[in-house]
Amino acid sequence: MPSQNPAPAPAGAKVPFELKSATLPVVALLLKSTDTYAIRKALAERFADEPDFFDNDAVIIDLSAVRDDPGAIDFRGLMGTLRSLKTTPVAVRGGNAVQIEFARAAGLSVAPDAPPQRAAPEPAPPSVEIREVVREVEVVREAPASETVLIDKPLRSGQQVYARGADLIVMTAVNFGAEVIADGHVHVYAPLRGRAIAGARGNPNARILTLCLEAQLVSVAGIYRTAENDLPPEVAGRPAQVRLDGERLLIEPLGKG
């Protein structure tokens, strides 16, 4: 009778795979209702004019706000809407046992619950994370800490730069689908076509400055504007700055304000 044990690999043979830990960008969708029809309708309306807002981002459906709601959630229908928006729903978290069971039946996995909110820690030394998605595998490189982070290579779709505790200066184009984020100011001395977020930790004095404003999204301290609203002709494709005036987001020709 032949042996049931697999034959050992020849000495010196290369293993055809390798396992590595990975950090992946994930979007959390927090449900505030179990009315799946209303959620799907609201999502479709919100992104109707921005079909490329997402770039095949992975999505976790957060049920923590509805875990005590007895209403049934149509996970399959919700997943269909999320896929139509160019996202990939992968998991749920924060739900009760029944919700988790139905989510599993729909093909979703279960992610750990979000950690509880804690008091803000002491400011950490500035650092930057440069995240580059290459063939669906994200590479994270840590740059030396400084008060200003300088990027001198073009950023293409799927790439994200976050200047933690620092200003961010980009010397080349931020292309459509790329994202630049800073806790301080964002300077782009080239066309800004992707998404730019300044004051990521709530600094209302942060600004976005660029020599050519064509952005998908601009945001300062959580207040944002998307490309679904056309830019005024005096700033569209021109040098411009984005800043807050109270709760209003102002977009002005560079040098004003």
Reported as a single tens digit per residue, the pLDDT across 63-95 is 999 989 888 899 999 999 999 988 889 999 999
170-196 tens-digit pLDDT: 999 999 888 899 999 999 999 999 999
Region 201-223 average pLDDT = 92
- Beta-carbon neighbour count of residue 55 at 10 Å? 18
- Reply yes or no on whether the pLDDT at 3 is more than 50: no
**Among 208, 195, 194, 164, CA closest to 182:** 164
**Same structural domain for residues 101 and 168?**
no
Of residues 215 and 141, the one with the higher pLDDT is 215
Q: How far apart are the first and last CA of the chain?
A: 86
131: pLDDT confidence band, cut at 50, 70 and 90? Answer: low
At 199 the pLDDT is 92
Among residues 80, 108, 136, the one where a domain terminates is: 108
Name the pLDDT band for 136 (thresholds 50, 70, 90): very low
My answer on whether 162 and 99 are in the same domain is: no
For the chain, helix (H) and strand (E) counts, in that order, are 3, 17
Please report the pLDDT score of residue 140 as a whole number: 37
Both tokens assigned to 175: 């292309």
Q: What angle do CA 95, 96, 99 make, to 5 degrees?
A: 75
Please report whether residue 19 resides in a domain: no
Residues 6+ apart with CB under 8 A from 137: 22
Is position 114 within any domain?
no
Residue 254 is predicted with a pLDDT of: 86
Q: Would 173 be classed as within a structural domain?
A: yes
Global pTM reads 0.48
- Beta-bridge partners for 219: 197, 224
Q: How many domains does the chain have?
A: 2
Which CATH number does the domain housing residue 187 bear?
2.160.20.70
Tokens 């569209």 correspond to 236
Tell whether 9 is covered by a domain: no
Statement to judge: residues 153 and 243 lie in one domain: yes
Asked if residue 139 is part of any domain, the answer here is no
Instruction: Quickly list DSSP for 98-162.
Output: HHHHHHHHTT-EEPPPPPPP-PPPPPPPPEEEEEEEETTEEEEEEEPP-SEEEE-S-B-TT-EEE
Supply the DSSP symbol for 203. -
CA proximity to 216, closest of 200, 201, 231: 231
Decide if pLDDT at 157 tops 90. Answer: no
- Decide: 167 and 187 in contact? Cβ < 8 Å: yes
Report the mean per-residue pLDDT for the chain.
81
The distance of Cα 243 from the centroid of its chain, to the nearest Å, equals: 21
* Average pLDDT rounded to a whole number, residues 147-154: 88
Question: What pLDDT, on a 0 to 100 scale, did the predictor assign at position 133?
Answer: 47
Query: Binning pLDDT at 50, 70 and 90, where does residue 20 land?
Result: low
CA distance 203 to 189: 22
Whole-number Cα distances in Å, 197 to 59, 76, 207: 20, 33, 9
- Residue 71 inside a domain? The answer is yes
As beta bridge partners, residue 208 has 186, 242
User: In this model, does residue 34 exceed pLDDT 70?
Assistant: yes
Which CATH number belongs to the domain containing residue 56 in this structure? Answer: 3.30.70.260
Examine the domain organization and report whether 104 and 152 are in the same domain: no
- The pLDDT score that the predictor gives to residue 16 is 80
CA proximity to 68, closest of 42, 94, 103, 29: 94
Closest CA to 46 of 82, 72, 79: 82
Q: Mark whether 84 and 159 lie in a shared domain.
A: no
Pairing of strands 127-134, 137-143: antiparallel
Same domain, 174 and 245: yes
- Range in 77-91, 107-121, 221-235 with the lowest mean pLDDT: 107-121
Nearest CA-CA partner of 110 in 39, 64, 60: 60
Domain range for 93 is: 24-108
- 225 within domain boundaries: yes
